[in-house]
């Protein structure tokens, strides 16, 4: 069974996001071993200069990298990443599994994004949109799409 890891910056405090994450985690348990790994975020001062923002991303990036196993195929979420349809993403994940990638790790950055070192460690970048989403919402969207991937690849019905 493939291990899917979602490494993300920050904790989710709102019950409604946690409820949605729990629901998709439960649904995914039939298809993969899901691990959601949270690392703490850094406080970002208002109007922080670029140098401070880079330091913050680097600190968060160090925490992220410590949570990624050596054998992981890493997919970093980024606005400038590759965009897939749901069917194409499903085919991509299935192809990774066929190629023996049994540990797929998705990375969601904090409010400032991901550090260059996280991108260097990544096997690819994935974009869901040219828009920016709150990381809490992105976690739910990502889990829904992973669930959709497995439903599609197993030929099971799922709304379009």
CA distances from 150 to 68, 88, 154 (A): 23, 12, 6
Q: How confident is the model at residue 160 (pLDDT cuts 50, 70, 90)?
A: low
Q: Looking at residue 55, which CATH number applies to its domain? A: 3.40.1280.10
Average pLDDT, the chain: 96
Q: Is residue 160 part of a domain?
A: no
Q: Is residue 17 part of a domain?
A: yes
Q: Is residue 55 part of a domain?
A: yes
Q: In what order do the strands lie in the sheet with 103-108?
A: 33-39, 3-9, 103-108, 73-82, 124-126
pLDDT in tens, 117-134: 999 999 999 999 999 999
3-state secondary structure of 1: coil
Domain range for 53 is 3-153
pLDDT in tens, 146-158: 999 999 999 999 8
Q: Is residue 50 part of a domain?
A: yes
Q: Is residue 72 part of a domain?
A: yes
pLDDT, average across residues 59-88: 97
Q: Is residue 46 part of a domain?
A: yes
Q: Is residue 158 part of a domain?
A: no
Count of domains in the chain?
A: 1
Q: Is residue 159 part of a domain?
A: no
């Amino acid at each position: 069974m493939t291990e899917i890891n979602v490494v993300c910056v920050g904790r989710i405090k709102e019950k409604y996001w946690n409820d949605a994450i729990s629901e998709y985690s439960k649904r995914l348990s039939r298809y993969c071993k899901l691990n959601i790994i949270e690392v703490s975020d850094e406080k970002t001062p208002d109007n922080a200069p670029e140098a401070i923002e880079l330091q913050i991303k680097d600190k968060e990036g160090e925490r992220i990298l410590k949570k990624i196993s050596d054998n992981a195929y890493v997919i970093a979420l980024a606005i400038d990443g590759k965009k897939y349809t749901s069917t194409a993403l499903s085919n991509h994940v299935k192809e990774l599994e066929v190629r023996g990638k049994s540990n797929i790790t998705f990375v969601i950055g904090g409010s400032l994004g991901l550090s260059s070192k996280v991108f260097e460690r990544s096997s690819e970048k994935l974009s869901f949109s040219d828009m920016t989403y709150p990381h809490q919402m992105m976690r739910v969207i990502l889990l829904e799409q992973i669930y959709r991937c497995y439903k599609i690849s197993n030929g099971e019905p799922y709304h379009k």
